[in-house]
A and B are shown apart, each in its own frame.
Chain A
Amino acid sequence: MDLVIRATVVFFFVFLVTRVVGRRELSQLEPFDLILLVVVGDLVQQGVTQSDESVTGALIVIATIALLSIAVSWISFRWRPIRVITEGEPIVLVQDGQPIERNMRRQRITLEDIQEEARQAQIDSVADLRWAILEDGGRISCIPR
């Protein structure tokens, strides 16, 4: 019983951490983010399974995490307010060539980040962007004028 409860608590806490860390960091996986992922992975294992070395325990934890993922995904699909919490909404970073500083600051995205994404989309400069939008998954979509 305790195994299921620990897995559930850790699932929602890790989910909270991913929301707090920010979508951009999760999509980019900079060295610091890699450290975070490795450390979290190790600590989660210790906290969830503790001294349990059984195959049964591993199956219970995997099934619990998988079911919670499916449940969260289904609830998000059915109710839009929940979807906004679990997945977030696209955020406009540039509109008609004008960077929106407030949104960039909140997402910790620099002008250089947007310029890099624009170049990858074959767009010369930020001024040539109609829209730059930070998508739910952390990717920046660039739409030219």
Chain B
Amino acid sequence: MAGQAAGPWVRRALLACMAALPLLALLGVFGQHPSTSTAASPAASFSVTAPTRLRSGLIFQVRVKVLARREIKQLQLDFAEGWWESMSVNSIVPEPSNENSHDGQVVLSYGDLPAGKALVVWIYFQANPTNVGERREDVALLDGARQLARVHRSLTIFP
């Protein structure tokens, strides 16, 4: 009898657990709502817009914006290793004049950016199905070898 009385409550508890999934998904817990990280220096303001949570297989956009307050002669964007590990890169627009790697970081060069001008770069990634877990995704803005600004980000990819 006690088992029969508990039956509906067990079913309701399981239903509540099941309802939690779409509810959390609606709140954006499982991605892929983008967020913007910003950094500023006397030389430039700098922002990176990208999702912080994803599910494997999803295509997503990263938007990097640099607004020069003074001329940046050798503008470079330095992306941490986490951006590229187990990711497919669909396209980078505009394409950099040069691509380099040092210590696992990937550096995209865009040349000269005059004071008062903005550079916006869109990168389209797809998370590979085996790419699961949390990754550091810092981005630094450089003028040659000199760092002007840096944003600290991370990305969580659900299985």
**Interface of A with B (CB < 8 Å)?**
1-4, 51-57, 59-60, 63-64, 66-67, 70
B-side interface residues, number (CB < 8 Å): 21
Closest to A54 in B: B55
Interface presence of B13 (CB below 8 A): no
The residue from B22, B32, B33, B126 contacting A67, defined by CB atoms under 8 A apart = B22
Q: A1-B25, A63-B18, A67-B19 are in contact. Are A56 and B30 (CB under 8 A)?
A: yes
Determine the chain B residues whose CB is within 8 A of the CB of A66 once the complex forms: 18
Interface presence of B57 (CB below 8 A): yes
Q: A4-B22, A63-B22, A64-B22 are in contact. Are A54 and B159 (CB under 8 A)?
A: yes
Main secondary structure on A side of the interface with B:
helix
Are A59 and B159 in touch, CB under 8 angstroms? no
The residue from A1, A53, A54, A55 contacting B26, defined by CB atoms under 8 A apart = A1
What are the 5 A-B residue pairs with the smallest beta carbon separation, nearest first? A53-B57, A54-B55, A56-B158, A63-B21, A54-B56
Closest to A64 in B: B22
Closest to B17 in A: A63
Closest to B33 in A: A1
Name the distance in Å between B43's Cβ and chain A's nearest Cβ: 37
Are B59 and A51 in touch, CB under 8 angstroms? yes
The residue from A1, A54, A60 contacting B21, defined by CB atoms under 8 A apart = A60
Interface presence of B144 (CB below 8 A): no
Determine the chain B residues whose CB is within 8 A of the CB of A56 once the complex forms: 30, 55, 158-159
Are B58 and A51 in touch, CB under 8 angstroms? yes
